[in-house]
Amino acid sequence: MDMMSLYLLIALSPLVGSIIAGLFGWAIGRRAAHVVTILGVAVSAVFSLKVLHAFLTGQAEVFNAPVYTWLTVGGYEFSVGFLVDSLTAIMLVVVTSVSLMVHIYTIGYMQDDPGYQRFFSYISLFTFSMLMLVMSNNFVQLFFGWEAVGLVSYLLIGFWFKRPTAIFANLKAFLVNRVGDFGFLLGIGLVLAYFGGSLNYSDVFAAAPALASKTIQIFPGVDWSLLTVTCILLFVGAMGKSAQFPLHVWLPDSMEGPTPISALIHAATMVTAGIFMVSRMSPLFEMSDTALNVILVAGSITALFMGFLGVVQNDIKRVVAYSTLSQLGYMTVALGASAYSVAMFHVMTHAFFKALLFLGAGSVIIGMHHDQDMRNMGGLRKYMPITWITSLIGSLALIGTPFFSGFYSKDSIIEAVHASHLPAAQYAYIALVIGVFVTAFYSFRMYFLVFHGKERWMENHDSHHAHDEDHEDEEVTADHHHGLAPDQTPHESPWVVTLPLALLAIPSVLVGWFAIKPLVYGDFFKGVIHIDAARHPGMSELAEEFHGPMAMALHSLTSLPLWLAIAGVATAWVFYMKAPQIPAKIKSTFAPVNTLLEKKYFFDEIYFAVFAKGSRALGTLFWKVGDMLLIDGLIVNGTAKLVGAFSKVVRRMQTGFIYSYATTMIVGVLALVTIWFAQLILR
C-alpha cells in the first residue's frame, strides 16, 4: 500500500462508517450501526499507531502532497492535501484511540436511547472532521476541518433536541465559535493576500521571514506588524475552538450533550484543534513576541480563573468540564512560552486522563441511575470498584502526581513558563502555580464527595421523584433520568463501559514516562516545530537540566507545585470528609464571592446584555428606521406617492375641453415670446 492510500484509509474510514450508520441505520439496526462505525475508527486507530511507530523509529518520512485540486480562481489554486509528519502522527493516535474508546463506551451508555444509530453516525463524522483538520497541508483544508468539527459539535451538544437547555447550549457553542472563526478567517485572508498568494503551509512558512518587518495600516496613520496581526487573528480562532478567555463560555454548557461526546469534545477533538493549529504555525508565531504575550495572558487567565469555577460546581460533569478549561489554559500558556512540544505533550497526556475522567463520570451517572449531583452521592467505592480505581488514577494524573502522565506534561509547562523571558511569563507562572492547588482541590473534592464518606443518595429521593413528575412529558434519554428509586442501590457499569476505563487508565499512568524524552527533549519534532532559540531560549535551557523521567520525578519532591497539589488534596479531605461545616461557613461568610463564582463571573449575563440584547436593539433600529421608514416609507412607497401626486396634477390638466387646451397653448406661446424679448433686451 502506497503512503497516499494509507493516509486516505486513515482519514476516510470513519466517514464511511458515519455515512452507513447515518443514512442506513434504520435498515441495518443498532448492532450493525455500532459495528460499522467502531470498525471504521478501529482501522484508523491501527494504522495511526503504525504511522506513529514509523516516526518514532525514524523509518517514516514527511509526506506532503495534494490529493486533488478543489478550486482554481484568478490564479489562486485551492486544493485538498495531506501533510503527515511527527506532529500529525501524535494527533492521529490521540484522536483515533480516544475516539475508539468512546465508541465502545457508547454501546453501554446509549443503549436505551432512541437516537442510537444517529449518535454513532455523528461521533464517527466528528472523528473524520478532526482527522481532516490535523492532516491538512493548507489553510483551506484546515478551515474545512475547523468548521466541520464546529458543525458536528453543534449536532452533538444538541443531540437531545427536545430539551430546551440542549438547544440553547448548542446554539451558544455555535455562535461563540463563529466569533472565533471570523478572526481565524481574517487571518487566513491576510495570509492569502501577503504571503505570495499560496495557502500551502510550506509556501507560507518560506515566505514569512521576508515579511518580518512588513507593516499594514488597519487604521489610517497607524502601522501594525503584519505578522503580529496575522498571528493574533489566527489565535482568535484558537480562542474559540480551544475555549480560551473570553471565548470560553460555550464549553461548560456543552455538558448538555451525552457524556460520550463530552469526553470526545473535551479530550481529543474540538478543543485540541486550537492548540494543534498554533503549534503547526510555530514558524509564524515565533516571529511575533507581541502575539506570544497575548497568548500567555489569555492562557493564564483561563488556567486560573476557570479553575476557580470548578470549586463551586455540584454537577459531576461540570467539574470535569471546568477542569478541561483550566488545562487548556495550561496548554495555551505553553504555546506562549514557545514550548510548543510541551503543549502537544500535554495535549496527548490530557487526552487520555481527561477521557478517563469523563467516562468515569459517565459510569458514575449510570450507577446512580443518571443523577449527576455529587451532593446525592458518596460511598460509591464499594459499589463501583472499577470506576473508583480508574477515576482515582485519572484524578492523580490530572493534579500532576509524580510518575503519572499528567505530572510530566504539567510540570514541564510550569518549568517552561518559568524559563521564558517574555514580559507576560512572570504573571503566567504565578497563575499556573496557584492553579496547581486549585486543580488538586476541586479534583479531590469531586473524588471524595463521589466515592467516599456518607451514602447520601437516599436523602433527596423525594425531591428527585417530584423532579421526575415535573419532566414526565419529556423524552427519556441517557442523561435525563433523576436518581435511584427507594429499592435501588448504585451498581457497577457493564463491561463495555468499564473496559474503556481500564484501557484509558494505562496511558494515563505510563505514557508520560515513556514519551517525555523523545517528544519534549528529543528530535521527534525536529523540523516540524520551529523555535527561535536566540530570542526564546527557554526550552534549550530546560533541555540542559533534564536528566530523565526518574530524576524529574525525584526532583519534584522538593518543588513548590507538588506541595501545593498535596495541600489541595489535604484541604479537600478536611473540608469534605472531616469537617463539612467549614465549606458551608466559608460560603456564607464570603457570599458575594460565592455568587460571583456560581454566576461564572457574570459572563453569560454580560454577553446577553451587550451582544444578544444589543444585536436585537440594532436589528430593531435597522428594521424600523432603515426598512420601514427609509426603504418602505421613503424609497418604495415614497416613489409611488410621488408618482401619484404628479399624476394627480397632470390629470387635472386633462379636462377634455377644447377651450382649455387653446388657452394653455396661448399661455405657452406668450411665455415663449416673453422669454425671447427678455433675452433681446439683456443683450
Q: Tens digit of pLDDT for each residue in 470-495?
A: 333 344 444 444 566 666 778 888 88
Summarize the confidence of residues 269-297 as an average pLDDT.
90
- Return the closest-CA partner of residue 246 out of 337, 323, 180: 180
DSSP secondary structure, 161-219, as one string? TTSHHHHHHHHHHHHHHHHHHHHHHHHHHHHHHHTTT--BHHHHHHHGGGGTT-EEESS
Q: Please check the confidence at residue 356 and state whether its pLDDT lies above 80.
A: yes
Q: Please check the confidence at residue 570 and state whether its pLDDT lies above 90.
A: yes
Give residue 469's pLDDT band: very low, low, confident or very high (50, 70, 90).
very low
Q: What are phi and psi of 244, to 5 degrees?
A: -95, 150
pLDDT of residue 487: 61
* Cβ contact 511:402 at 8 Å: no
Summarize the confidence of residues 648-657 as an average pLDDT.
77
In the chain, count H helices and then E strands. 28, 4
pLDDT of residue 475: 43
Q: How far is CA 40 from the centre of its chain?
A: 24
Q: Which residue has the higher pLDDT, 572 or 468?
A: 572
pLDDT of residue 14: 93
Q: Please check the confidence at residue 4 and state whether its pLDDT lies above 90.
A: no
Summarize the confidence of residues 344-372 as an average pLDDT.
89
Give, in order, the Cα–Cα distances in Å from 356 to each of 39, 353, 375, 399, 610. Answer: 21, 5, 22, 14, 38
Give the integer Cα–Cα distance in Å for 361 and 355.
10
Give residue 10's pLDDT band: very low, low, confident or very high (50, 70, 90).
very high
Q: What is the DSSP letter of 257?
A: S
pLDDT of residue 477: 46
Give the integer Cα–Cα distance in Å for 122 and 125.
5
Give residue 87's pLDDT band: very low, low, confident or very high (50, 70, 90).
very high
Residue 502: CB atoms within 10 Å:
15
Bond before 246 cis per omega within 30 degrees: yes
Give the integer Cα–Cα distance in Å for 146 and 134.
9
Q: Provide the mean pLDDT of the chain.
A: 86
Q: Which residue has the higher pLDDT, 657 or 444?
A: 444
How confident is the model over 23-36, as pLDDT tens digits?
888 888 888 898 99
* Cβ contact 363:450 at 8 Å: no
| CA 351-503-20 angle, 5° bins | 75
Give residue 379's pLDDT band: very low, low, confident or very high (50, 70, 90).
confident
pLDDT of residue 463: 46
Range scoring the smallest mean pLDDT among 42-56, 391-405, 491-505: 491-505
Give residue 76's pLDDT band: very low, low, confident or very high (50, 70, 90).
confident
**Sole residue written with cell 433520568:** 481
* Cβ contact 445:398 at 8 Å: no
Residue 619: CB atoms within 10 Å:
12
Burial 635-655 (b: 16+ CB within 10 A, else e): eeeeeeeeeeeeeeeeeeeee
- Percent of the chain predicted with pLDDT > 90: 35
How confident is the model over 575-587, as pLDDT tens digits?
988 888 898 898 8
Q: Please check the confidence at residue 128 and state whether its pLDDT lies above 90.
A: yes
Q: Please check the confidence at residue 267 and state whether its pLDDT lies above 60.
A: yes
Q: Which residue has the higher pLDDT, 458 or 676?
A: 676
Joined grid coordinates for residue 309:
469555577
Strands (E), 31-153: 63-73, 76-84
- Percent of the chain predicted with pLDDT > 70: 95
How confident is the model over 517-547, as pLDDT tens digits?
888 888 888 888 998 888 888 888 888 888 8
Joined grid coordinates for residue 460:
433527596
Summarize the confidence of residues 407-419 as an average pLDDT.
92
pLDDT of residue 507: 92
Q: What are phi and psi of 486, to 5 degrees?
A: -60, -30
pLDDT of residue 459: 67
Joined grid coordinates for residue 545:
537540566
Give residue 467's pLDDT band: very low, low, confident or very high (50, 70, 90).
very low
Question: 373 forms bridges with which residues in the sheet?
Answer: 315
Q: Are strands 76-84 and 215-217 parallel, antiparallel or unpaired?
A: unpaired
Give residue 460's pLDDT band: very low, low, confident or very high (50, 70, 90).
low
Give the integer Cα–Cα distance in Å for 524 and 502.
28
pLDDT of residue 77: 76
pLDDT of residue 485: 63
- Return the closest-CA partner of residue 539 out of 412, 450, 403, 645: 412
Rg (CA), the chain: 31
pLDDT of residue 480: 47
Q: Please check the confidence at residue 461 and state whether its pLDDT lies above 60.
A: no
Burial of 669 (0-12, 13-18, 19+ CB in 10 A): exposed
Summarize the confidence of residues 349-371 as an average pLDDT.
88
